[in-house]
Chain A
Amino acid sequence: MWCERERTGQVMDDRDRHQAAPPLPPTSFYVLLSLAAEERHGYSIMQEVATLTSGAMRLWPGALYHTIQSLLADGLIAAVPETAGNERWRYYRLTERGRLAAAGETQRLTSLVNLARGRQVLPPQEDS
């Protein structure tokens, strides 16, 4: 699809790119979700991920900073410049690109759930 559109001269915007991008690893997705509401430092991200998954996923320092490193390299999160009050911890924030990536991943998972419902793997959703 990418090649076809590039050949025909259609320009892909960021939203298209993230919809066509490969799935995010679960750890990266949870880190993006934890940063969606506010800027956080490493320990706070770790705690938030544990809360979001009800303790099912614990990110220990090695895995956490490996994920942060790859997200920084992809430009999905950014380090917040140090402020006078927060000298002890480095804070991270979600970039616009990261927000689009998280939205793309959420959409992908939603369509997967809908597919599972269509195949009756999951019970149909009740209208509230």
Chain B
Amino acid sequence: MDSPLPPLVAVSCAIYRILLLAYPRNFRREFGGEMAQVFCACCQDAYWRRGIVGLGEVCACTLLDTVGNVARQYALRERVQLLALPPSPAYGLPSLGEANACPFCGEEIEPGRLRCVYCAADLRLCPPQRRRPLSSSRLRTSAGYGAVQLATDARRFYGRVYGEPGRRD
């Protein structure tokens, strides 16, 4: 096992290590080293048994396996992140007085939006701990979306739900 790898096997292992970069970072950190070890062992075994044909077969099968499993890992990661989202009144439900800030650019997010209008970040993919309510000072000083805008929105929202406040009286 300690003997130097045949050049073809060494090249295949190096290419596989690069391919491993396609996996999500967490998965790579956890299993990347072991996967590279396993692949190298497979390549060595196949090369000694069947030569270049065996090595080619292992590489082709591993390439297909990598493509399929990278997609599977990303799908899994997205599902886990979506499931981890806590119910928040700012996302999906219109609520007044609970303005939230985009965790990426810090700009105001309108209730019910899933994407920041300023930096286009997908808010569903934001870890819950990174979300923060918009601070009152930021609310006051925010040029684009201040208290006046909030009041306008409140009037608009309640007007939609209960009718125009002015007309109800």
Which A residues are closer than 8 A to B by beta carbons? 41-43, 46, 58, 60-66, 68-69, 88-90
Contacts and interface: CB of A to CB of B under 8 A. Distances in A.
Contact of A43 (B27, B31, B37): B37
Q: Is the interface of A mostly helix, strand, loop or mixed?
A: helix
Contacts of B41: 43
B65 A68 contact: no
A58 B38 contact: no
B35 A43 contact: no
Contacts of B66: 60-62
B42 A62 contact: no
Contact of B34 (A42, A60, A66): A42
Interface in B31-65: 31, 34-35, 37-39, 41-42, 61-62, 65
Contacts of B81: none
Contacts of A60: 42, 61-62, 65-66
A64 B27 contact: no
B35 A66 contact: no
Given A62-B65, A64-B35, 4 more contacts: A61-B35, A61-B39, A62-B69, A65-B27
Contacts of A43: 37-38, 41-42
Nearest to B16: A61
Contact of A69 (B31, B61, B62, B70): B31
A62 B27 CA distance: 11
Interface string B95-135: 00000000000000000000000000000000000000000
Given A60-B61, A62-B62, A90 B34 contact: yes
A116 to B, nearest CB: 31
A46 B34 contact: no
